Structure 1
Amino acid sequence: MLLDYGYTSIYLKSNSRNKIEYVYNSKNRNYDVVILGSSRANNHFVSEMFKKKGLKTFNYGISGGHLFEADLMLKLMLERNYKIKTVILETDLNLSNDKRSETVAAKFLPYIHDSEIIKRHFENEADFNELYYLPFYRYINFDALIGFREMYKTLSQQPTSLLDKGGYYALGNKKGNMKNDIRNLKPLRNKYYEAIKRLCKANKINCIAVMTPMCENTKGMNYFDKVKKNYPEIHNYENVVTEDKYFSSCGHMNDAGARLFTARIINDFFKTK
């Protein structure tokens, strides 16, 4: 019990190591644009380009994240009285599952006893009873993510780069896997995407859902057509940038590609700003 209390107390005082605690330990922020999604948001939307257009923007995309976490992030922002005009939601490959991301969801667990919203979000998870009722279980079970090492780094206020550049993380030109096969992916009627849409509507937030680019060597590109059939309101930008020189890996653009893509988004949705 004492260890649980000690670890949790440290996380409750930090807002500088990752985007989740940056939101959790905050209040009353105002944004013209908030970006949510996975690495395909984190690496693809250049915050400074929005800012140059006079749009106060932060990229809250999280590498490895699913829509489970994007929904929870938005709920926490609204609870903290964020004023948000527009949410840009990366909604493509992450529609193919409605499970949590083990690596990202764990970062919410230090706050599960402090937050009714986080508690409710995890209530239907198979391991909820252990996570909620067993003292210190979550810190042991997710030791690599929220255990001693991360607690110590948080306590000693060791910086990360996750909050730099308005939350945008630029990838370089070194090529990773430049082939991809998404033929087995099937877009769902995703309950977390549906929840995000409802939250935006209820709070008068303009929700722009987009599919972001993939390299030319991807097999199964009709996945994006299936998404469009399920959700006609999602804007399909998967073929806006295609040349390999603009990609760091098949599913992630480098900085040059991200800037081309961001310029197109700004022109299509914010050109009157």
Structure 2
Amino acid sequence: MKNFLIYTVKIIFVTALVAVILDGLYTVVFMQSKNRGKVETVVNSEAKKYDVVILGSSRANNHFVPQMFEDKGLKTFNYGMSGGHLFEASLMLKLMIERKYVIKNVILEADLNLSGEEKSEGISALFLPYIHSSETIKKHFENEKDFNELYYLPFYRYIKYDGKIGFREAFFTAIHKKTSMLDNSGYYPLFKTKNGNMKNNIVNLNPLPHNKYYQEIKDICKANGINFIAVMTPMCENVKGMNYFDKVKKAYPEIHNYENVVVEDKYFSSCGHMNDSGAKIFTARIINDFFGKK
């Protein structure tokens, strides 16, 4: 029995030691990354200056064309993240401020994600390699139910989110393999597809009367002298429950409703995402309305 206990203790000790070593190795790799995705590009960056920073989900990532802002003399980057929620958008802005970014305008895509405050499991995982090196990231995750495991158990976060920050991603990061996420200043153009879903139902969707992370973004902008522009972006013609956007406007009157600026299906790749042609029409309208006189 004694030998069994000794053996068990040894196994536990070796397992813990391996976990600590692997955790350290993975973290070091991610701390060197600057060319694969938007999260590490911000985390591992120094102070930058932007006239316009774009935040939001895929409905930001696919809808705002930075080059059109650049053509007007506005240094711009699209930090929209496909699959992301306001949880991640808020954290991205916090990290930019932590790294002393100077930002004149923030454009936030704020519509469908106002209906919840939960994090996006896949996108929030991209911040976890830096949870011990950034107090901002640590505090942002502190109230999450799995925070203790993510923060205190070595290598746990890399195992739990293996598909996002596991061996494959660590390997590609180590060999500096680039992705397309940073191309086009963060904008990801979509194109018309034959199998695109041109129907959607948001009848049961309701904006929260007070979305914590939306308010955080708004407050950060105010505290740092950043002009805050919140907008709702277009959806295709065949959507049930379009009064959702009226509900948003009622709850958040400062959000600008651009839902009907582009409506024809030919300008959409899927019902909730415009194609490149639609995005350019939409972006032109945004530039004209908010920056046209400058």
TM-score by length of 2: 0.92
2:274 to 248, 253, 264: 253
Query: Match of 1:81?
Result: 100
Q: Distance in 1 between matches of 2:113 and 2:39?
A: 19
| 2:226 matches 1:208 | no
Matches within 5 A, 1:119-268: 119-175=138-194, 176-188=196-208, 189-268=210-289
Q: Deviations over 1:194-233 (max 9, x none)?
A: 0100000000000000000000100000000000000000
Q: Offset of 1:27 from its aligned partner? A: 1.2
Runs of 4+ that moved beyond 2 A: none
1:63 aligned counterpart, secondary structure: coil
Counterpart code for 1:216:
E
Unaligned runs of 5+ in 1: none
Query: Match of 2:116?
Result: 97
| 2:37 matches 1:18 | yes
Q: Offset of 1:137 from its aligned partner? A: 0.1
Q: Offset of 1:272 from its aligned partner? A: 1.7
Matches within 5 A, 1:35-54: 35-54=54-73
Q: Offset of 1:46 from its aligned partner? A: 0.3
Q: Distance in 1 between matches of 2:107 and 2:255?
A: 11
Counterpart code for 2:252:
Y
Q: Offset of 1:105 from its aligned partner? A: 0.1
| 2:290 matches 1:269 | yes
Q: Offset of 1:67 from its aligned partner? A: 0.2
- Quick one: percent identity of the two aligned structures? 71
Q: Offset of 1:185 from its aligned partner? A: 0.7
Q: Deviations over 1:25-72 (max 9, x none)?
A: 001100000000000000000000000000000000000000000000
Unaligned runs of 5+ in 2: 1-19
Q: Distance in 2 between matches of 1:27 and 1:224?
A: 38
Query: Match of 2:7?
Result: none
TM-score by length of 1: 0.99
Q: Offset of 1:235 from its aligned partner? A: 0.1
Q: Offset of 1:173 from its aligned partner? A: 1.1
Q: Deviations over 1:88-107 (max 9, x none)?
A: 00000010110000010000
Aligned residues between the structures: 273
Counterpart code for 1:249:
S
Question: How much is the aligned-residue C-alpha RMSD, in angstroms?
Answer: 0.5
Q: Offset of 1:163 from its aligned partner? A: 0.2
Counterpart code for 1:30:
K
Q: Distance in 1 between matches of 2:162 and 2:184?
A: 29
Counterpart code for 1:131:
L
Higher-Rg member (1/2):
2
Counterpart code for 1:20:
V
